Amino acid sequence: MKLTKLALGVTVASLSLAACKQEAAKNNGAAATTTTTETTDKIGEVVYVNADTLLANYNLFKDVKTRLETKAKKAEGDLKSKASAFQNEVGQYQQRAANMSEEQRAVTEQRLARKQQELANLNQSESNRLMTEEQEEQKKIYDKVEAFLKDYSKEKGYKMVLSYSRGNSAILYSDESLDITQDVLKGLNEAYDKEVAAESKTETKTEAKKK
């Protein structure tokens, strides 16, 4: 089961290039070195995150992916088992049909047709259930990344965090110094690991009380 990649672009505040130019114009009389420094600072307010790297190494995403794939494999196995049992019934009917009365054949065929429809409905409902669960998990991941980036950007003074994904990005080139992926990834994983540890501690206490 393939998980859809998330669009990780989070705009904290709009940054106008025209505004940067106006600011530079106001300081026209200043020294060239000062102007260069101010322009560099402005550009530094825009950074980016590599979405491919982030998702490949974010522990929450990896855990969710593993969990959903496990559920998908189980659902697929259950459906295959039911389909195999149905095929056996069909095979048995085909072997006995010649010795059955017309009424018996009609009743058996109706029963098999109902089972076939039930299998089709089950397949569809399981697919819908897994798809819905995947979408819900993706939203949770997006919300956590967005919340982290908002706090992170306030702390670092960034005005905009862009998302880069190879082959699917509006960013054609960017200086590597603007890539904050590893720092963001470290923060996200540390926060997630703390959540997992807290949940594990709570579950241990709950189990201890039951005993």
Per-residue confidence (pLDDT) for residue 168, from 0 to 100: 79
More confident: 11 or 204: 204
Q: Hey, where are the domains in the chain?
A: 48-210
Neighbours of 107 (CB within 10 A): 12
More confident: 71 or 25: 71
Residue-wise pLDDT for 71-124, tens only, equals: 999 999 999 999 999 999 999 999 999 999 999 999 999 999 999 999 999 999
- pTM higher than 0.95, yes or no? no
Rounded CA gap, 142 and 147, in Å?
A: 9
Residue-wise pLDDT for 123-134, tens only, equals: 999 999 999 999
Average per-residue pLDDT in the chain? 81
Contact 133, 75 (CB under 8 A): no
Residues 31/35/37/40 CA torsion (nearest 10 deg): -160
User: Which H/E stretch holds residue 134?
Assistant: helix 102-156
Per-residue confidence (pLDDT) for residue 35, from 0 to 100: 39
Whether pLDDT at 141 is above 50: yes
Q: Hey, is 161 helix, strand or coil? A: strand
Taking every pair of Cα atoms in the chain, the longest distance, rounded to a whole number of angstroms, is 104
